[in-house]
Amino acid sequence: MMIPFYKMHGLGNDFVVMDERTERFGLTPARIAALSDRHRGIGCDQFVVLRPACRAGADVFVRFFNADGSESGACGNASRCVADLLRQQGGGASSVLQTQAGLLAARIDAPGEVTVDMGPPALGWRDVPLACEIDTLHLPIDGDPAAASMGNPHVTFFMTDLPDPHEAGPALERHPLFPERANVGFARIMSRGALRLRVWERGSGLTLACGSGACATVVNAVRRGLVDRTCRVDMDGGSLTITWRAADDHVLMTGPAVTSFVGTVDLDGYPS
Ligand SMILES: N[C@@H](CCC[C@H](N)C(=O)O)C(=O)O
């Protein structure tokens, strides 16, 4: 069964996008993990599945899966890519994405440049979630990290020297305090308006950029009084501009969305 897909990326955080709006392809977690494999499959950090929207006002229902086949409620970089894909397919300059974490409004600022309203962060211990009642601004873990949910769980370490995320990332992702695992951000404050970030992503490992991680890091940095509400986030793959709007508590993320190529894949060669 030959199935079309889009290969897209936001700052090098790369995606396979499959459109199941008219037909289902049997995309089980095992099949998604196999397709995401960089050596034996197509290869991507996240696998994105489009389905028909079932909420009023939404244009499409978007599901995000990590390279290991696990599902996430949010993916900032992929949200920008899907909004730009809808534009390429004849949609307008704005769209509404239905996700597991709620409705996200997206606006095309220019072709390939997108702002997504990622909604308000969730800052309660149950929201992240954490395993027990703890102040999310100071977790009892070496390095005094903070936690926040942007529809997915993030923990942020503020440091003067950034470590190699491969060293501490895997153990922190599965720390007992995070019952659903966590995305682990290592951030260095550069000024009130800029920070440097590397993220070890739950289910995918180190990526070149993490949109929801950039949002969570700015939220945590603002809560700690370290940066202003609009902040540039520099990652290995490039920069995003994040604004945590005081008026309504929403987090806005602006950055690029790129289509690398369109292809087809024979799904019969992959486990079902
Ligand atoms: N790359 C993403 C986040 C993808 C999901 C994450 N790994 C999770 O499991 O929550 C982004 O750009 O936000």
Please list, in sequence order, all residues whose beta carbon lies within 8 angstroms of the beta carbon of residue 168, skipping any fewer than 6 positions away: 184, 200
Residue 137 within any structural domain of the chain: no
Q: Does residue 268 register a pLDDT over 90?
A: yes
Average pLDDT over residues 28-42: 98
pLDDT category of residue 272 using cuts at 50, 70 and 90: confident
Pair (231, 165) in one structural domain:
yes
Pair (189, 223) in one structural domain:
yes
pLDDT of residue 223: 98
Among residues of the chain, what percentage have pLDDT more than 70? Answer: 100
**Distance between Cα 220 and ligand 1 center (Å):** 17
Give the tens place of pLDDT for each residue, 137-147. 999 999 999 99
pLDDT of residue 98: 98
Pair (237, 155) in one structural domain:
yes
**75 is annotated as an active-site residue:** yes
* Among protein residues, the one whose CA lies closest to atom 2 of ligand 1: 75
pLDDT of residue 180: 98
Tell me the two tokens of residue 268: 């019969």
Pair (65, 167) in one structural domain:
no
Find out whether the beta carbon of 99 lies less than 6 Å from any atom of ligand 1: no
Q: Does residue 12 register a pLDDT over 90?
A: yes
Pair (242, 158) in one structural domain:
yes
Residue 90 within any structural domain of the chain: yes
Pair (85, 176) in one structural domain:
no
Question: Across-strand partners of 239?
Answer: 234
Pair (106, 9) in one structural domain:
yes
Give the tens place of pLDDT for each residue, 131-189. 999 999 999 999 999 999 999 999 999 999 999 999 999 999 999 999 999 999 999 99
What is the span of the domain harbouring residue 52?
Answer: 2-118+257-269
Pair (56, 102) in one structural domain:
yes
Number of C-beta neighbours around residue 92 at 10 A: 10
> Any known ligand binding at 220?
no
> Any known ligand binding at 211?
yes
Q: Does residue 85 register a pLDDT over 90?
A: yes
pLDDT category of residue 218 using cuts at 50, 70 and 90: very high
Which CATH number covers residue 75? 3.10.310.10
- Out of 44, 81, 210, 215, pick the active-site residue: 210
CA 224/CA 219 separation, integer angstroms: 9
Q: How many domains does the chain have?
A: 2
Average pLDDT over residues 83-102: 97
Burial 54-81 (b: 16+ CB within 10 A, else e): eeeebbbbbbbbbbebbebbbbbbbbbb
Residue 42 within any structural domain of the chain: yes
Please list, in sequence order, all residues whose beta carbon lies within 8 angstroms of the beta carbon of residue 22, skipping any fewer than 6 positions away: none
Note the ipTM here. Answer: 0.99
pLDDT of residue 253: 99
Residue 156 within any structural domain of the chain: yes
Q: Does residue 10 register a pLDDT over 90?
A: yes
Residue 42 contacts residue 265 (beta carbons within 8 Å): yes
Closest by Cα among 53, 46, 54 to 16: 46
Q: Does residue 1 register a pLDDT over 90?
A: no
**Distance between Cα 129 and ligand 1 center (Å):** 15
pTM of the model: 0.98
Residue 141 within any structural domain of the chain: no
CA 116 to chain centre: 12
Pair (84, 176) in one structural domain:
no
Average pLDDT over residues 75-82: 98
